């Protein structure tokens, strides 16, 4: 159908309409608008997705392999935590079934744990990773085949379509000029010839399109099989991975169970029985009796200077006038060193042997006993607080009986006033004995440093009445007599 245009002063001219193509309205377009590369690019992108999926598995297995290697090194550190040999290991029995064998078992099993991780690392690296690496290469090769096949034919289709489109556009131009020129044109511009050229190029285009279509269909069909192959290989790789990892886990459980079995098999008394048997000469025998002071001995225990000349309990009159007790009981000893010591008691366990009072007898004087009482005057040299405050004083003693008092008197008299030159206190009394009445103790008379206080005393023999001598026997020097209830 032509369009008529009218210009002022001219005849109407009919212009031909350009048709998009020479095909009928109900047929396909000569040059489709779809891109032939869409399908091949989609398949190439899918292969890329599979390649990345396999790459993820490779990375997973590779990371697990590195972890296994690191675990092996960590178990080497665990192994070093058990000293070899054990410190003080000789305390444990070295035979099977003891603590020493337990730690040896733990060392061996810990080394086994490290070895299982090393084996797993080698298996993953040598058996699982190669499977995935080969699959990765297959996918890459498949992508190359797709690029060299379907992708290349898609380019040929695109090229043929461009050529056809150019001739269709040329046909449209020359059919339009055919109407305006009244059919006058060059031979190469003849629409018929151009139309034949379009059909020629369209035929080649259709051939390329069909070839490309068949190639893509073949690739698509192969994709289903190839993806099944990919999944099969992935499953195979994961089966191998699971076999090695679960095998290692079972082996670890067995090693730890063996450690536990070695520990629970030790009888509770196994180590102590053997330890006590090996060290019976050092350990204390429970059946042996306890030690006693009487059954022990030490150097110079029986030396004559350690034996008391006389010892026992006496009562001493308190020097405190305000005291209502009168007399206090103490334990007194005359030693071969010529000291008179006062102790609280004779208990060597509760108290240390520190004298409460100490008088150096060669520097002291003694009064003749009256019944069970007698007096001793001297300086307290115990270096205690009381000795610093009291100085020289007269001490009145009371024995259990008159015989005990006479016994104490005889012993003390044998050493009293007999200090050599340079004696303990530096004073020398004129006489060790004061004349006394037979009924009451006489006051002590002492001469110090050449100054006479009171009356000068003569020798003990002349100062003692005959009647008194006849009544009491004089004990020899150093003699020990029973006092009271058999105490000496």
List the pLDDT tens digit at each of the 488 positions of the chain: 344 444 444 434 343 333 443 333 335 666 665 655 677 788 889 999 999 999 999 999 999 999 999 999 999 999 999 888 888 888 888 888 889 889 999 999 999 999 999 999 999 999 999 999 999 999 999 888 877 766 666 777 778 778 778 877 777 776 777 766 666 666 666 777 777 877 887 787 778 777 777 777 777 888 889 999 999 999 999 999 999 999 999 999 999 999 999 999 999 998 888 888 888 888 888 888 888 888 888 899 889 999 999 999 999 987 665 555 678 899 999 999 999 999 988 888 887 888 888 999 998 999 889 999 999 998 888 876 555 545 677 889 999 999 999 999 999 998 886 544 344 443 333 334 443 343 444 333 333 233 233 333 333 333 333 333 333 333 333 333 333 333 33
Which helix (H) or strand (E) segment holds residue 376: the answer is: strand 373-379
- Pick from 375, 385, 359: nearest CA to 314: 375
- Pick from 261, 266, 256: nearest CA to 116: 256
> The whole model's pTM is what?
0.52
C-alpha dist (Å) from residue 317 to 136, 329, 330: 117, 9, 11
Distance CA 71, CA 147 (A): 44
Q: Can you say whether the dihedral through the CA atoms of 249, 255, 258, 259 is positive or negative?
A: negative
Distance CA 364, CA 450 (A): 16
Residue 480 tokens, joined: 């020990």
- Judge whether 99 and 90 are in contact, CB under 8 Å: no
- Pick from 290, 286, 237, 255: nearest CA to 56: 237
- Judge whether 330 and 395 are in contact, CB under 8 Å: no
C-alpha dist (Å) from residue 227 to 41, 58, 199, 361: 17, 18, 41, 124
Tell me the domains of the chain and their CATH numbers.
34-270 (1.20.1270.60), 304-471 (2.30.29.30)
- Pick from 39, 40, 23: nearest CA to 31: 23
Going by the DSSP 8-state scheme, the letter that residue 187 receives in this structure is G
């Amino acid at each position: 159908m032509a369009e008529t245009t009218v210009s002022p002063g001219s005849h109407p001219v009919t212009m031909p309409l350009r048709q998009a193509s020479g095909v009928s309205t109900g047929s396909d377009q000569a040059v489709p608008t779809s891109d032939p590369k869409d399908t091949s690019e989609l398949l190439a992108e899918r292969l890329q997705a599979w390649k990345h999926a396999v790459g993820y598995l490779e990375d997973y297995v590779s990371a697990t392999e590195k972890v296994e290697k690191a675990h092996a090194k960590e178990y080497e550190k665990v192994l070093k935590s058990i000293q070899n040999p054990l410190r003080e290991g000789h305390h444990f029995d070295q035979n099977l079934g003891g603590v020493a064998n337990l730690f040896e078992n733990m060392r061996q099993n810990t080394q086994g744990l490290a070895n299982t991780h090393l084996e797993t690392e080698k298996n993953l690296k040598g058996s699982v990773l190669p499977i995935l690496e080969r699959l990765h290469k297959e996918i890459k090769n498949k992508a190359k085949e797709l690029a060299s096949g379907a992708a290349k034919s898609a380019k040929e289709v695109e090229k043929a379509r461009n050529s056809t489109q150019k001739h269709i556009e040329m046909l449209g131009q020359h059919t339009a000029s055919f109407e305006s020129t009244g059919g006058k044109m060059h031979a190469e511009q003849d629409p018929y010839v151009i139309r034949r050229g379009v059909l020629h190029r369209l035929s080649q285009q259709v051939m390329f399109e069909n070839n490309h279509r068949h190639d893509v269909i073949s690739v698509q069909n192969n994709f289903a099989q190839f993806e099944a192959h990919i999944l099969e290989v992935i499953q195979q790789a994961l089966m191998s991975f699971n076999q090695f990892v679960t095998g290692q886990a079972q082996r670890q459980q067995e090693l730890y169970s063996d450690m536990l079995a070695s520990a629970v098999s030790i009888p509770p008394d196994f180590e102590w029985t053997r330890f006590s048997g090996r060290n019976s000469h050092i350990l204390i025998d429970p059946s042996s009796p306890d030690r006693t002071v009487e059954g022990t001995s030490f150097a110079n225990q029986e030396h004559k200077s350690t034996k008391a000349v006389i010892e026992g309990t006496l009562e001493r009159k308190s020097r405190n006038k305000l005291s209502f007790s009168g007399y206090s009981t103490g334990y007194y000893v005359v030693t071969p060193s010529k000291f008179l010591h006062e102790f609280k008691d004779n208990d060597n366990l509760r108290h240390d042997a520190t004298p409460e009072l100490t008088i150096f007898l060669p520097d002291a004087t003694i009064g003749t006993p009256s019944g069970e009482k007698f007096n001793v005057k001297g300086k307290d040299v115990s270096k205690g607080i009381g000795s610093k405050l009291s100085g020289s004083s007269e001490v009145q003693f009371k024995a259990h009986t008159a015989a005990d008092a006479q016994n104490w008197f005889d012993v003390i008299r044998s050493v009293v006033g007999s200090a050599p030159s340079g004696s303990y206190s530096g004073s020398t009394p004129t006489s060790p004995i004061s004349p006394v009445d037979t009924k009451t103790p006489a006051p002590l008379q002492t001469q110090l440093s050449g100054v006479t206080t009171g009356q000068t005393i003569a020798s003990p023999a002349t100062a003692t009445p005959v009647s008194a001598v006849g009544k009491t026997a004089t004990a020899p020097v150093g003699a020990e007599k029973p006092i009271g209830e058999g105490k000496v």
